[in-house]
Structure 1
Amino acid sequence: MKIDFANLQIQYQTYKEKIDTNIQSILNKSNYILGEEVNILEQELQNFTKVKNAITCSSGTDAILLALMAIDVKPGDEIITTPFTWISTGEMIALLKAVPVFIDIEPDTYNLDSNLIEKAITKKTKAIMPVSLYGQPSDIDAIQAIADKYDLKVIIDGAQSFGSTYNKKTDSNLGDISITSFFPAKPLGCYGDGGAVFTNNDEYAKKIKSLRVHGQNKRHHHQYIGIGGRLDTIQAGVLLAKLENFKDELKVRNKVAEKYTNKLSKILQTPVIKPNRTSAWASYTLRVKNRDSLLLSLKESGIPTSIYYPTPLHLQECFQYLNYKKNDLPISEKASNEVISIPMNPFLSDEQIEFITYNIGENI
């Protein structure tokens, strides 16, 4: 049986007519940079998220950078965040010569443990940046309460969670600024790199729009040091076509997750979604002791897998200068040795789900 991890080709064939029409329209107009489709997409993203301002950009990584620049992060500022995430989260902090302060995670959701935040706050702390890992928001009420107490900013790294909710609000509508990624394999993905920044703060939005075009506030006048961080118009055309069906895809992702959980929860640790939250299910991640042998067995059966993430950020070579040591953040380190993600997308058939879960059951 052929099983695809993300099923991007099936998704394209499903929406091919609309995607092709949008792309051809852009080609006909040859307006490839900040064309009208970008403005239309931003409006549709605002409608979807109920956020006042949606600003598209060139990637989820650049979205983090733009968010940090918008709150005026300076060298030496400290940003409290999680080590159990993709490199971009800590990387963009370090790129601005600020200091990522890594604290451990919850053992069930893998998100930032809000109980550990206050101990990590110093006079240099500028912001808290939780990551909505695997598609589920962190405990934002607790995080926001701490931020308010210490006058800190909250940036939500929602690169994996566009479409998720916390207390019935989209996670794009949380914190001072929220970001997402439109990398092709994300829940809402384009056909290259892309991202977006969301905020209800008009001043931040105005600054971010300037920062993404080299700090210009009008042509050839540069108010800030910025970046070339625009979303290509063609990618906006792709996202507009996909966004039309996104709510339905989220529902099917949840059904796929329910089927996995029903078949696997009695034999191993399956994802935990908190009662006041929904997940966008960027991945379906299990926890196993015998990961290497299971990876090999699933590979032999033609079942693709991935590990998100095999090395937490505090132990990455690029962050050696921060002087973290092994066992400093034990929950993150243990998770990195045990997590395994299996195929998750809205195009998995019941037969494929049965095949995947049967093979897991036979080999753990």
Structure 2
Amino acid sequence: MTAVPVSRSWTHAAIATLQAENNRSADTHLYKIELPEHWGVDLFVKDESCHRTGSLKHRLARSLFLFGLVNGWINEGTTIVEASSGSTAVSEAYFAQLLGLDFVAVMTAGTSPEKIALIEQFGGRCHFVDHADEVYAAAASIAAETNGHYMDQFTYAERATDWRGNNNIAESIFNQLAHERFPEPSWVVVGSGTGGTSATIGRYIRYHGHSSRLMVVDPEGSAFYPAWKNQDLSVVTGNSSRIEGIGRPRVEPSFVPGVIDSMLEIPDAASVAAMMHFKKLTGLHAGPSTGTNLWGVWQLIAQMVAAGEKGSIVTLMCDGGERYVGSYNNPAWLDAKGLDPSPHLASLDDFFATGVWQG
């Protein structure tokens, strides 16, 4: 019998380590948010900040590591490199440390200090560039110099996750809704950072024959919304998103527009306002990309109320607000960025008072 090569033995052990980590992890909470009873709409928020690394990207990072291992791209001693605005890098730094691998995150200099500290806490190193569209080449270059592996979440996010099930986020959502009065949601609302989450959920909905619709929300200046609206995947804006974790200067390979039923472009100040309002409404301290989700959610709920449509909506709490103490939760920082949430906060107060969306 031929002996198992040392590299294969390490790979088997690494996969077992990731599977054990997953087995130790309970599923994330699905919170029901109390709304006026006469609206006839139930809102559920899946709190992905419960993961060990504090965000939705924990799932993606585990999948990307498994994908790299089974493809033979990651071996003992491989340096892992990623282009990331923060949360994916935090999660990948954690898994790299778990496997005893070096990790380098390539990001813009404007990434929140809280996220940088978390990456370094998990043993990662940060490499900064000035503009969002420079991260790709810089990450590829560092991977080549270190004989490492560029994870490339923007390409592989949609294919590293099994969209048919296998405990992905879509399967988790539908399982957790099984005993609710509207177990099949009318809408699922998510943002687009890599495109992987929307691709997974949209494919799962179709594969399992659900009638649920998928809305993707996108911050202002991102390439995803105009690409979907105009059916042109060549769109390039070159803009850095002011909402960390979502929005891209180009359409990423993992973006699958065909599974999306509706898209909305969300003003950045509205994302911040919805984040602030959510904390006041629920006591849950979320990050700004969750605010982007919620600004879309409230518009959908208003449409359902106006049409007399009963049902449920699910969205994601992508990460916690504690990662943004010095930025989106800092009035001086918001003012310096030209972000004034006050008009949008007034709109939300008016909506909850009347049930009518004025924008």
Q: Into which bin does the TM-score normalised by the smaller protein fall?
A: 0.3 to 0.5
Higher relative contact order (CA 8 A, sep 6+): 1
User: TM-score under structure 1 normalisation?
Assistant: 0.35
TM-score by length of 2: 0.36
